[in-house]
Amino acid sequence: MTPVRPRVVDEPPSGTVLGPGGPENRVAALLLAVLLVSGGLTGLVNLALDGVVRDGVVRTTYGVTMAACLLAAVPLVVRRRVGLWQTFGLVLLGDLVYVVVALCIEDPVRYATPLVLLFPSVVAAWFLVPWMLAVHMAVTPVAVVVAMQHSYDGVGGLAVQAAISAGMLDLVAVGVSLLRRREQRLLAATEALSQHDPLTGLANRRYLVEQVPRLWRQARREGQRVAALVIDLDHFKQVNDRHGHAAGDAVLQAVAGVLADTVRPSDVLARLGGEELVVLGLVGDPGEAAHLAERLRLAVCAARSAQGHAVTASIGVALARPGDGEDAGGALWRLVGRADAAMYAAKQGGRDRVATFAPPPPPPPRRVPAAELLDAPTVPCPRLPGASRTESG
């Protein structure tokens, strides 16, 4: 059976190189800011010293480039995160700094070594998407040729050295990029294993808990209710006892497949354990939740394993309206507990049905017998100071 991707509600924003707002992103942003500021200040000091930077237009270009390094550090310090496009711009800025320094410094052979481009190449290969890396790899040989043109008298020697240097840099970039892609696949596989049930491919308890705060926020924002549907397969133990656990696993997989096809895209479908599953979703009223539960019940009835085995399901429904400041984790399990109680009521009612949780009615007020009223001690009314009692016959 093809693994079922868990339903995701209100996906978090993407577009950052590292975790958005995470500590590793803040550290990377501050380190890059320090590197840019130190490089820019060093360049401005060289600009102020006589005999270090050539005069004329190249001197102005050098100063503008160093100022650009300082300006690039400002958003890193303010936002304290590194975005994808921001990283792409910083990589191209590193290529530009390499070329400008090589052209403007009086001793170009000393500063024109292509090893300077190793850092931008590694950053591009590790963090950027493939097409951005391809742009950097295309810019690298051009930057090497422009930077090293004054170090060679003949075109042949320059071409050979540029091809070797740029080729090595691009080869390193490709190797680092492949390593990064492999690491990302391993991380994605590890995350999937930690969030999925290995038998059915559905989300597990951990993924369900992770989605709850986002689901609660969405419900408050849209003024809706959160519905919990607890699904328990009827007489599932008999399938295991009569046909073996392999047959029971096949039934679970078949049921998981039809449920995943029936729930709405915004719903979260998870397996809690055994033959018990839960669906969390947003509804406008109890009728919408009951309609969804009935669709799921009919879907389970129609499910067949490869061996032709089938089961029915008892479904309990409970609703809650999330409140401000409410602990979503605790509210989730209270809601699931009420839906679980409704599910057991459905089983007691004959199984293969839907039951909605109804809170028990409040106890009726106690009627005090007349005899107790007559025997109750009489408490005189308090007499106010200065008041006189008027007796009447």
254/176 Cα distance (integer angstroms): 42
Whole-angstrom Cα distance, residue 56 to residue 53? 9
Single out the residue of 291, 277, 261 nearest to residue 354, CA to CA: 291
For residue 35, give the nearest of 85, 76, 63 by alpha carbon.
Answer: 76
Contact between residue 301 and residue 312 where contact means Cβ atoms under 8 Å apart: yes
pLDDT in tens, 111-161: 556 777 777 888 888 888 888 888 888 888 888 888 777 777 778 777 887
Structure confidence at residue 384 as a pLDDT band (50, 70, 90): low
Using an 8 Å Cβ cutoff, are 296 and 232 in contact? no
Among 244, 256, 249, 259, which residue's Cα sits nearest to residue 293?
A: 259
pTM of the model: 0.60
Least Cα distance to 124 among 76, 180, 65, 187 occurs for 180
Phi, psi (rounded to 5 degrees) for 243: -115, -5
Q: How many residues would you count in the chain? A: 393
pLDDT digits (tens, 9 = 90+) for 70-121: 888 888 888 877 788 888 888 888 888 888 887 777 555 455 567 777 778 8
DSSP letters spanning 269-312: EEEEETTEEEEEEEESSHHHHHHHHHHHHHHHHH---TT-----
Q: Parallel, antiparallel, or unpaired for β 313-320 and 354-356?
A: parallel
- State pLDDT tens for residues 18-27: 444 456 667 7
Tally of CB atoms within 10 A around 1 = 14
Taking 90 as the threshold, does the pLDDT of residue 356 lie above it?
yes
In words, the CATH class of domain 205-356 is alpha beta
Distance CA(19)–CA(182), nearest Å, equals 18
In the chain, residues under CATH classification 3.30.70.270 are 205-356
